[in-house]
Amino acid sequence: MKKKYFGTDGIRGEVGIAPITPDFMLKLGWATGRVFAEEGHGFVLIGKDTRISGYMFESALEAGLSAAGVDTRLLGPMPTPGIAYLTRTLRAKAGIVISASHNSYYDNGIKFFSVDGCKLSSALEHKIEKYIDSPMTTVESSKLGKAKHQTDAAGRYIEFCKSTVATSIDFKSLRIVVDCAHGATYHIAPHVFSEVGAEVVTIGAEPNGLNINEECGATKPELLAEKVIEFRADLGIALDGDGDRLIMVDHKGEIVGGDELLYIIAKSKQKTGKLKGHVVGTSMSNLGMEHALKKIGIKLLRSNVGDRYVMEMLLNNQAILGGEGSGHIICLDKTTTGDGIVAALQVLEEIQKSGKSLHELKSGMDKYPQLLLNVRINKKVNLDKIESINKAVATVEKQLADKGRVLLRASGTEPLIRVMVEGENEADVVRYANFLVDEVKKAI
């Protein structure tokens, strides 16, 4: 059954436009509280990134949960994977993340984690939606939920991240530039990397509520590339606003994307006998990664786009490693969700163990030219039913044959149609992608 409010990654949109409004968040907090109150006594964690609207929505959610008789623990600014970790280790009923991830400050959203640190099931999301559309009530005063701050949240998560690499490995020889995107990792990531021994230069760690992801971080790694060259660093690490994406930069200033990082981690785990099952990518994963993995005897499985679907395929295939080109990398042998800091540590560990630079490690994979263009829309469309678009796609696919791919899909988090073309020749890729964008604009 189709969900009314939840998308592929929680509930997201522009602040002040339904459903991203204070009154909806109050009702959402209450609905969530009612669902988890039915499962017995316990508390719910609330964490957020650094965008200014987080304060408003934190208060509204806490009030709604209190009205339902559920206690809350406020984490303050925390990376999404940190909230997943704390939900699991503190045995909370659920974890609520107030974040729009890589989006700009004027967007916000809500994501949930269950007691095991994984995304909520569709069944629970449907149950919450049912309560959202029901009249709101308040428990009697003696049963109202209480709120308190979890003051050691950052320290707990920092220690966890450090524990995902062997203490015997010395990172003292590495100089790293870390870009926190003025987001939720600003007070976490620099400590993690410096405490494992690296020399750290920090950028993007001065959040003001409005500058999250602004020309920095995993979605804009060009600034990081400049700083890596400027500081003569060994590499750079770019995280996004909520810390679940990772993009890196090698010592030459070349950007190393999620597909290349996934390849490096997969090869490292295979070498040490720790890789279980296949590697999971998505329909957007680069053909070059698929071919590079195949050369070393690793099969790539492709899920739909979205870390929820990567996770489902990992679990269904008893695999431990998956991710997306955008930098969502899930290491299930380390944690329960995509984690930019943890993934970066796995790459650093391989650099130190192999004695190779990041530039050398990525050279095992030849990335196919790939272009992703977005077409903004103001209404939902079913691409499968638009004949002119399907005809255009078929034309391009015929030209590419088995040496490229075309993918058109509606974004699950933004009002966009994403047009992706991949092939051996970059000029052809650009030409075909622009042709398809024009056809989508004509049809829509």
Q: What is the pLDDT of residue 383?
A: 86
- CB-side exposure of 261: number of CA atoms within 13 Å? 36
pLDDT tens figures, 284-332 = 899 999 999 999 999 999 999 888 899 999 999 999 999 999 999 999 9
Q: State the CATH number of the domain containing residue 396.
A: 3.30.310.50
Residue ranges in 141-184 assigned as alpha helix (H): 153-163
Residue 159 within any structural domain of the chain:
no
Task: Provide the pLDDT for residue 36.
Answer: 92
Last residue of a domain, one of 234, 256, 278: 256
The band of 25, judged by pLDDT with boundaries at 50, 70 and 90, is very high
Whether the per-residue pLDDT at 412 is higher than 80: the answer is no
329: enclosing H helix or E strand = strand 329-331
Alpha-carbon distances of 4 from 98, 107, 129, 133, 160, rounded to whole Å: 19, 19, 7, 10, 36
The pLDDT of residue 125 = 95
Distance CA 213, CA 215 (A): 6
pLDDT digits (tens, 9 = 90+) for 101-129: 999 999 999 999 999 999 998 899 999 99
Contacts for 250 with CB less than 8 Å, ≥ 6 apart: 228, 235, 256, 357, 358, 359, 362
pLDDT in tens, 326-369: 999 999 999 999 999 999 999 999 999 999 999 999 999 999 99
Which residues are tagged catalytic? 101
Range of the domain at 130: 11-152
- Quick: pLDDT tens for 249-283: 999 999 999 999 999 999 999 999 999 999 999 99
Q: Evaluate whether residue 164 is within a structural domain.
A: no
Do 400 and 337 have their domain in common?
Answer: no
Residue 410 has pLDDT above 90, yes or no: no
Q: Of 360, 345, 339, nearest to 184 (Cα)? A: 339
Distance of CA 201 to CAs 45, 194, 205, 235, Å?
32, 9, 11, 11
Q: Total domain count for the chain? A: 4
pLDDT at 380: 80
Burial 333-348 (b: 16+ CB within 10 A, else e): ebbbbbbbbbbbbbbb
Whether residues 197 and 303 fall in one domain: no
Mark whether 28 and 142 lie in a shared domain.
yes
- pLDDT recorded at residue 39: 77
Instruction: Assign residue 241 the CATH number of its domain.
Output: 3.40.120.10
What are φ and ψ of residue 25, in 5° steps? -65, -35
